[in-house]
Amino acid sequence: MVKTGYLFFILSICFSCSSLKLCVQNEDKIELSQSNINLLNGKFANDSFLNKDSIQGSLYWNFFDRGHNSKDSVEYIKLEVLNTKKIKVSYFDGDTIVRSKVLKGKIRNGYFEFHKKYLIIPALYVNVFRNRSFRISILTNGNLITDYNQVSFGTGFFIIPFYENVKEFNVEFMGLKE
pLDDT in tens, 89-123: 999 988 889 899 999 999 988 899 987 776 667 66
Question: Which residues contact residue 74 at a Cβ distance below 8 angstroms, ignoring those fewer than 6 apart?
Answer: 92, 93, 94
- pLDDT of 18: 47
Report residues of the chain scoring pLDDT below 50.
13, 15-16, 18
Q: How far, in Å, CA of 145 to CA of 135, rounded? A: 8
Say if CB 86 and CB 107 are below 8 A apart: no
Q: For the chain, which residues make up each domain, given as ranges?
A: 2-176
Q: Report the distance separating Cα 48 and Cα 102, nearest Å.
A: 22
Question: Is residue 15 packed enough to be buried (19+ CB in 10 Å), middle (13-18) or exposed (0-12)?
Answer: middle
pLDDT the model gives residue 63: 85
Question: What CA–CA distance (Å, rounded) separates 32 from 44?
Answer: 17
Which pTM was predicted?
Answer: 0.76
* Amino acid 77: pLDDT: 92
